[in-house]
Structures are given as C-alpha cells and as structure tokens.
Amino acid sequence: MSNNEELNKKDGHRKSVGGRGPMSVNLDKAKDSKGTIKRLLSYLKGSKKELIIVYFFILLFVVLSLAQSVILQPIIDDYIVPLLKNPEIVEYKIGCLRMISVLIIIAISTAICSYIQSKIMIEVSQNTVKTLRDEVFVKLEKLPIKYFDTHPNGELMSRIVNDIDNISISLNTSINQMISGLLTLIATLAIMIIISPVLSVISLLSLPIMLIVVRKIAQINKSQFIKGQEALAKVDGFIEEYVSGQKVIKAFNKEDDVQNNFNNRNQNLRKNGFMAQTVAGIVMPIMGNIGNITTAITTVVAGIFCIRGKISLGTIAIFSKFSREYSRPIIEITNQFNVIQSSIAGAERIFEILDETEEYPGNKQKPKIEKIKGHVQLKDVYFEYEDNKPVLKDINIEAKPGETIALVGPTGAGKTTTINLLTRFYDVTNGEILIDGKNIKEVEKDSLRNSLGIVLQDTVLFSGSVKDNIRYGKLDATDEEIINAAKLADAHSFIKRLPNGYDTIISEDAGNISKGQAQLINIARVILNDPQILVLDEATSNVDTRMEVKIQNAMNKLLEGRTSFVIAHRLSTIVNSDKILVINNGEIVEQGNHNELIAKKGIYFRMYTGVFEENF
C-alpha cells in the first residue's frame, strides 16, 4: 500500500475532491500544444541578447554551409574541367588549389559558428530550465496537502526531473536545428530556382509528399510520447514506493510479487518507448528514399540539358547537391519531433503544476494572528472530501486556554481529519473554526501555523545534523537554545551519546536512530518553536513502552500552559486530559473527562477496558 493510500484511508476516504484517486495520472492527450509552446518560449524572454547572438551565428552557419556548395560550381567549371582538357596549365592548378583552400576555410568557419551558437544555446537552455525548476519547487510549497495526497511522490519526481530534462534537451538542440533547417530550406529552394526553374519544379514535386509524411508522423508520435511519459511516471512512482517499503516487502516475502508488478510496468514503458522511437525512426529512411528518387530523376533531366549545352557540368553538380540538401533540413526538423513532442508533453505536465490553485491565494493580505491566548472553538463543523460523503458532521468543540482535549475513536472515525481542519491542511465545508474569536479562514496562514506546534505519528527528519533538525523549529535559534529544547524533550542524553553529538548527520529516512529518538528530536523541534497551541497525532504509537514513557514525559512538559489537542493511540496516555471526545462515524458521540466517561460505561468505557461491540 502506498503512503498516499494510507493517508487517505486514515480517515475513511480513498479519493480527494472530484473523485480522483491518489494514483491517477491524466495524460491521455495534449490539451493545447500551441499554447504550451508559446508559454514555454516565454521563458526565453530574459535571454534576448544571447538569442540574438545565437540567431546571428545560425544565419552565418547557414550562409557558410550553402557557400560550400555554391563554390563547387566555379571549382568544377573554371578549373577542373579545363584541367581535364589541358592538365599542364599551371594557372588552373594554382586556381584550383586556391579555391580548395577557400573551401577548407569556409568549412572551418562553419564548424566554429556551430560551436559558438551551440554553446550559447546550452547556457540559455540551462538558465531557462533552472528558472522553471525554481518556479515548480516554489509552487509545490504553496499547494495544499490534498494535492500531495492525490499525487504519488514518484509522479511528482518524474515531472520535476524527467519532464524538465526533456525540455532542456529540446531547448538545447531543437530550436537551433529548427531555425537553421528552415533557413537552409528557404535559401536552398531560392538558389535552386535561380539556377534552373525547370529542374527546381521537378525537385519540388516530392515536397508535398514529404510535408504530408512529416505531419502524419508528428501526429502519431505526439500521442506515443505522451503515453511514454505516463508510463515513465508510473515506473518512477512504483520504484519510489518500492524503495521506501523495503522492510514490509521483505517481511512478507513479496519480492517476487513486486518483481512481477515492476516487470509489467517496465514492459508497458518499453512498449510505449519502442512505439515512439519506431515511429520516429522511420522518418529518415522514408524521407531519404523520397529524396533519392527525386534526385535521380532530376539528375537524368539535368544530364540531358548538359548534353544539349543548356547547363554546365558544374551546374549539374551543384544542383544535384542542392536537390539533396533541401530534403536534409526537412529530415532534421522531422527528427526533432520526437524530442519536441516529448518536451511538449513534459511542459504540459509541468504547467499543470504551475496552474494548480494555491493553498490560500491572496493570503498575505489577511491580518496576522499574534499573541494568542489559545481559546479554540469548532462550531457546527461539517466536512467532506467528496461531494455528499461527509467525514465530519456537526462537530462542536471548545478548548479554553491551557486545556488539553483528547480525541479518541476507531480508525476512520474522523480524528485526524479534525486536526487537519484545525491546521488548515483542509478547510471546513461548513461551519467555522475560531482561535481567540477569530475565524482561521480570515487570518494569514503563516501566522496561524506559527502559533501551532504539530507532533505527528510519522516523524519526519531531514538530511542534515541533529542540530539542524531541531533548529528547523526556529531557524535563528542559538546552540544554547537548541540544547535547552533537547533537554526539555529528554533528548539531550541520547544525542550526546551519538558519534558526533549534535553534529551527527541523520541518514536518509533517519535509519541511524530509532523511531523513539526521532520522535524526541521532533518534540525538541516543537519546543524550540514555543507554540501556544499543540497538536499531537498519536505521537507514541510507534515506540516501545520504555520509550513511550520518555516521550510522554517530554510531551507533559510540552503541554504545560498550552492549549492542546491529542489523538490517543493508547488511552492510558490521556486519562488526565481536561476533556475527552469520542468520535465515531464523523460525530462526537461522547465527551467528558476520564472519570465521567468511565462512569457512563459507554463507548469510551468499552474502549478503555478492552470490551468492544461488533462493528464499532
């Protein structure tokens, strides 16, 4: 089961708003290719000077490339043919060598132009994708939690890494080749018409066929590359899930099943990749054969003209070369369609992220909530993840400053959802949540969350030192403040025993410390933040009894003088709460303190004593 599915199942829902499942990827077809290309090119506006230089060298490259062909005519007509008739004439030999030297110089200059424009374009493309990558990352930070609940981590990674890489490759090569190919095509056709209008008409007979082939292949290839991107995203998502779930997979001996699942996804990716590359690969032989047939017909006609004295041998040579040359840029442009289609598909997926509705647009204009007392009220709160499928119904809770409110109930009852509403990970469907009389929808989100301290069941520690992970709660904290927070969290003693103390680097997924130790570091982080309202979501459920006692002691220190909401996994940890709320099927069915609820001998009593009714 994926992390996203676990998140969704926790409160009894499997899909987010609109019914889209957590693993869905909608890439059936491109929505707006022209709009996507236009938007992508808008990112090049900041590189206008560099692009002007690139265009200049592309133009120079095209001119010099054509010059290499044009210079063949005088070499053949003015020097080689006369030398064949009079091989002893020195002037012809010197002239021929001189022209060949010019040809070499032009060839070297062409290579230099190609290098310069490629180097500048690579720099432009890298700057462009850096900007795009920055925008995507910033955007992700502004998206609501439900977006991440409905999009697998692997899919997001595929978009940020693979799709942007495809865009980079396209910008590196495709723009240059498209422009140079178009200029070469226009110039070549113009020169051919100047040389011989009749031969040009014969050569151009194949152009409509080539254009039709290009268009058809482009249409087929586009859909294949979109399917390929979808398949790649699924493989990335599966690999991410597989790596993170290694312990579970090995514990249940599911390696073979995982291998089979991966093989199916990998086979689908191979199939789509094969189809896309096959369609792209047939362009060259088709276009080449069309060009060869046209060149052969043109050469025969040109030979007849030469015999009749209408054109020279050099003209035949240059025209034959140009008749082949004009199909080359068409082939090059066509060959870029696989890259272009891949980048368009990737760009659309990136822009989908950038166009997502932010968590709270215009939030900065709202007043901040400061110096709160901690009076929290949930009034007639109603919430649903999907239309007409309520998760919470008519929830009314009041927590006075300094009180501890415990939420208990079966899995999927709505406990975590209640907490998600308080932290504004989701917004209520109806009703309101007030802090010190202020509706949390009407205050700045950052100031609200700065007033909250959250300790989750699944701790999250980042790559870096223990000190940096604690400092995450207050980035300008001194070392002394960090140590004091660790002492209050009962984490100081075990941190000092680590190989490098507070400078010990936390490995990926915190594999070099226990879950209980990770939770203590997390609590120290919250203590350092010094929030007025605390949210504890089953913070001791993943640890042993001894570590639970330490964590509970740390949390008791943390709870002092603060308004707290605690989701209890072990009811023994919340017996001293000011108020206990029993939630079932999205409704508060019992409330009171521990003694009051035990006296009622209702649901809480049965939970506490371990006597459960069926279907509870």
Say which CATH number the domain at 277 has: 1.20.1560.10
Q: Is residue 578 part of a domain?
A: yes
pLDDT attached to residue 76: 77
Are residue 346 and residue 388 in the same domain, yes or no?
Answer: no
Q: Tell me: the pLDDT tens digits for 247-277? A: 677 666 777 888 888 888 888 888 877 776 7
Q: Is residue 79 part of a domain?
A: yes
Burial of 412 (0-12, 13-18, 19+ CB in 10 A): middle
Are residue 262 and residue 390 in the same domain, yes or no?
Answer: no
- Top pLDDT among 485 and 81 is at 485
For residue 586, what is the DSSP state?
T
12 has a pLDDT exceeding 60: no
Are residue 165 and residue 264 in the same domain, yes or no?
Answer: yes
Q: Which two tokens stand for residue 401?
A: 């400053």
Q: Tell me: the pLDDT tens digits for 147-191? A: 888 887 777 887 888 888 888 888 887 778 888 888 888 888 888
526 has a pLDDT exceeding 80: yes
Q: Is residue 463 part of a domain?
A: no
Count of alpha carbons within 13 Å of 57, Cβ hemisphere only? 20
Are residue 85 and residue 200 in the same domain, yes or no?
Answer: yes
Select from 354, 374, 398 the last residue of a domain. Answer: 354
Q: Is residue 495 part of a domain?
A: no
Q: Is residue 117 part of a domain?
A: yes
Give strand ranges (E) for 363-494. 376-386, 389-399, 404-408, 430-435, 438-439, 452-455, 464-465
Q: Is residue 341 part of a domain?
A: yes
For 536, the enclosing helix (H) or strand (E) is: strand 533-537
Are residue 309 and residue 408 in the same domain, yes or no?
Answer: no
Dist CA 564 CA 271 (whole Å):
54
Are residue 371 and residue 308 in the same domain, yes or no?
Answer: no
Selection from 575, 572, 599, 602 nearest residue 588 by Cα: 602
Q: Cα angle vertex 310, ends 305, 311, to 5°?
A: 80
pLDDT attached to residue 21: 32
**Number of residues that this document lists for the chain:** 616
Q: Angle between the 197-204 and 283-307 helix axes, to the nearest 10 degrees?
A: 150
Which amino acid type is present at position 397?
I
Q: Is residue 528 part of a domain?
A: no
589 has a pLDDT exceeding 70: yes
Q: What is the CATH number of the domain that holds 578?
A: 3.40.50.300
504 has a pLDDT exceeding 80: yes
Select from 354, 374, 400 the last residue of a domain. Answer: 354
Count of alpha carbons within 13 Å of 368, Cβ hemisphere only? 8
Are residue 417 and residue 320 in the same domain, yes or no?
Answer: no
Select from 304, 333, 354 the last residue of a domain. Answer: 354
Are residue 63 and residue 182 in the same domain, yes or no?
Answer: yes
For 241, the enclosing helix (H) or strand (E) is: helix 207-244
Please report where in the chains the tokens 């290098």 appear, as a residue. Answer: 115
284: confidence class by pLDDT, cuts 50, 70, 90 = low
pLDDT attached to residue 333: 72
Range of the domain at 595: 361-451+535-540+565-611
Are residue 151 and residue 235 in the same domain, yes or no?
Answer: yes
pLDDT attached to residue 183: 87
**Ranges 15-24, 153-162, 188-197, 575-584, most confident:** 575-584
Q: Is residue 400 part of a domain?
A: yes
pLDDT attached to residue 397: 92
Are residue 334 and residue 443 in the same domain, yes or no?
Answer: no
Are residue 334 and residue 371 in the same domain, yes or no?
Answer: no
Dist CA 125 CA 127 (whole Å):
5
Are residue 207 and residue 285 in the same domain, yes or no?
Answer: yes
- What's the structural domain count of the chain? 2
